[in-house]
Amino acid sequence: MTSNSVASKDKTTTIDLMAHLMRRAGFGADRDELERRVAKGYEATVEELLNPQGNRADREHFLRYHPGFRRAVTSPGMGASVWLYDLMHTERPLEEKMVLFWHQIFATGQSKVDHWHELIAQVDMFRDKGMDSYRDMLVSLAQNPAMIYWLDNCDNHESGVNENWGRELLELFSMGVGNYTEDDVFECSRAFTGWTISTVPPRNYYSRFDWSFEYQEEDHDNGEKTFLGNTGNFNGEDIINIICQQPATAEFVARHLYNFFVADEPPVPAWSVTPPKDPKAIATLAKAFTDSNYDIRSVLRVLFLSDFFQNARFTKIKSPAEVVVGTLRLVGQDILPGPGIGDLSKQAGYMGQELLNPPSVEGWHTGVEWINSGSLMKRINFVADMLGDTSRPGVQRIIDRLKAQGNLGAEELVDNCLELVGPVKTGSATLHQLVEHAAQHGELAWDTDESTKASTARVGELLQLIAAVKEFQYC
């Protein structure tokens, strides 16, 4: 390792920690951004992520060139294109990461909703409310047309209760199995009767019309209800208030946050029988949740500043969305607007996470379940294609940094490349193989046009190899 290497040890600790924060609280960051943030400091960066001053993606710019995505379309995967653009271009990475978080928890799918634009409206709501009051977001969720349709609350009438929304609100969105009774499910559902969607014109002659929430008083059950030991003429908001008073709710949300930001937990259905990996961490987060009156931003602050978060590096397998968005942000964002947005928006789906179309209301099973022989190949090939394209501005920036190092031996080259795409920490066997490959053509030189061209190509190949190593799949 050279003395002026980007991997020099005095920088490594802080860069590594900042890279960890940005992978988890965002979608990674290139070396320039990491160095800027290290100079700013860890705690200041956490605050900036929690209270972002940057811009959201300029969706109007995107829609100028892709007017067909103003209301997303029917073809599989295409509807998520607008969101992909948001994910790629936001200057508020944690805000957008929280959109992904809530989409995973309040999983709503195109397979039934069949209106991409209503799903986009839902994730837009997550963006606006995702770091504020959990209680307020549950109310918005209960009034969200896509959710109402997804869980049949439009079929929940005074004269005939449909329990789908009421059950999932308790089971998957707030408390978890074992913390309520079947009677509670029924009473909860009664309180949400009359929460429905207004009728809209048929879509066929002027394209689709937006749904909107409508409260139909005449269809609401105004009778007395008993829910979780409380009795009264409850409406939906009363139910949500009671839910938020339950310790189980704080623990449930805390475990979700831990699973998403700290370390992979088993799928939600196993939570009633499998204790958390780190009960103390869950208790810490749950307490922050309760103490702050269900303020998500406050819980996230505690999480990112905790030792259990800062020590949890490379303990999570990247979700497909993290693979795709992280790669696209790393290689540069000149790709969009442009033709091919549909293909790009489908990539996460090819890897097992079709955004806006989770397999069920339970969301995706995460962790090791992201990986199988098919999805692994898709992950590697996508990243390798992107990193191997040395014309991309982000790859060019990596090459420029390597050039600044002067001629590089194999070990230095591998060391620096691992740093610049992560940093990625590999095992010794992997490192040895990478170095062996890099050594095949001798030292990397930049002194002539010919050597620069050859070295650029070799860097592209090496980056492709790095995309294929096991450690690259972790964050």
Partner 1 sequence: MASVFLGINDRTYTYESTAARAEHMGAGVRYPIDFAMTEDEIAYIVNRGREDRPDGTRLTVFSLGEDGEEYISTFGSYGEEPGQFIWPMGITLDKNTNVYVTDEWLHRVTKYDQDGEYISHWGTHGSGDGELNRPAGIVVGQDDTLYIVDSRNNRIQKFTLDGKYLSKFGSAGSANGEFNLPWGMCLDADDNIFVADWRNDRVQSFTSDGKWLATFGTPGAAGTPGTGGDCSNAVIKGGITYTNAPVGQFNRPTGVCVDQDGDIYIADWLNNRVQVLTPEGRFITEFTGDGHLSNMGVAKLKSNPDMIRQRNGIRNFTPERVLWAPCAVKMGQNNRVIIADTTRHRFQIYRKNTEPVVV
The stretch near partner 1 (CB under 8 A) out of 74-82, 184-192, 320-328, 348-356 is: 74-82
- Helix or strand or coil: residue 215? strand
Q: What is the DSSP letter of 230?
A: E
Q: Does residue number 255 form part of the binding site for partner 1 (CB under 8 A)?
A: no
Backbone angles phi, psi at 44, to 5 degrees: -65, -35
Q: Which is nearer to partner 1, 208 or 316 (CB)?
A: 208
Q: Which one-letter amino acid corresponds to residue 380?
A: I
Q: Does residue number 215 form part of the binding site for partner 1 (CB under 8 A)?
A: no
Q: How far is the CB of 363 from partner 1 (least distance, A)?
A: 26
Q: Does residue number 42 form part of the binding site for partner 1 (CB under 8 A)?
A: no
Site for partner 1 in 159-198 (CB under 8 A): 198
Euclidean distance between the first and final Cα of the chain, in Å? 24
Residues 101-140, mask of contacts with partner 1 (x by CB under 8 A): -----------------------x----------------
Task: Of 332, 374, 335, give the one whose Cα is nearest residue 352.
Answer: 374
The stretch near partner 1 (CB under 8 A) out of 18-26, 53-61, 223-231, 319-327 is: 53-61
Q: Name the token pair of 125.
A: 């709501």
Task: Of 103, 108, 203, give the one whose Cα is nearest residue 148.
Answer: 108
Q: Which is nearer to partner 1, 159 or 199 (CB)?
A: 199
Residues that contact partner 1, how many (by CB under 8 A)? 34
Q: Does residue number 64 form part of the binding site for partner 1 (CB under 8 A)?
A: yes
Q: Does residue number 207 form part of the binding site for partner 1 (CB under 8 A)?
A: yes
User: Using alpha carbons only, how large is the chain's radius of gyration in Å?
Assistant: 24
Q: Which is nearer to partner 1, 71 or 220 (CB)?
A: 71
Q: Does residue number 205 form part of the binding site for partner 1 (CB under 8 A)?
A: yes
- Residue 72 near residue 52 (C-beta atoms within 8 A): no
Helices of type H across 90-193? 93-105, 110-113, 116-129, 134-142, 145-150, 164-171, 182-191
Angle at 17 between CA 16 and CA 23, to 5 degrees: 85
Q: Does residue number 157 form part of the binding site for partner 1 (CB under 8 A)?
A: no
Q: Does residue number 408 form part of the binding site for partner 1 (CB under 8 A)?
A: no
Q: Does residue number 209 form part of the binding site for partner 1 (CB under 8 A)?
A: yes
Q: Which is nearer to partner 1, 3 or 204 (CB)?
A: 204
Q: Does residue number 229 form part of the binding site for partner 1 (CB under 8 A)?
A: no
Q: Does residue number 201 form part of the binding site for partner 1 (CB under 8 A)?
A: yes
Sign of the alpha-carbon dihedral angle for 445, 450, 454, 455: positive
The stretch near partner 1 (CB under 8 A) out of 68-76, 247-255, 259-267, 352-360 is: 68-76
Burial of 172-204, coded b for 16+ CB within 10 Å and e otherwise, reads bbbbbeebbeeebbbbbbbbbbbbbbeeeeeee
Q: Does residue number 377 form part of the binding site for partner 1 (CB under 8 A)?
A: no
Helices of type H across 236-295? 236-244, 247-261, 279-291
Site for partner 1 in 286-345 (CB under 8 A): 338-342
Q: Which is nearer to partner 1, 338 or 442 (CB)?
A: 338
Binding site for partner 1 (CB under 8 A): 56, 59-60, 63-71, 73-75, 78, 124, 198-202, 204-207, 209-210, 212, 338-342
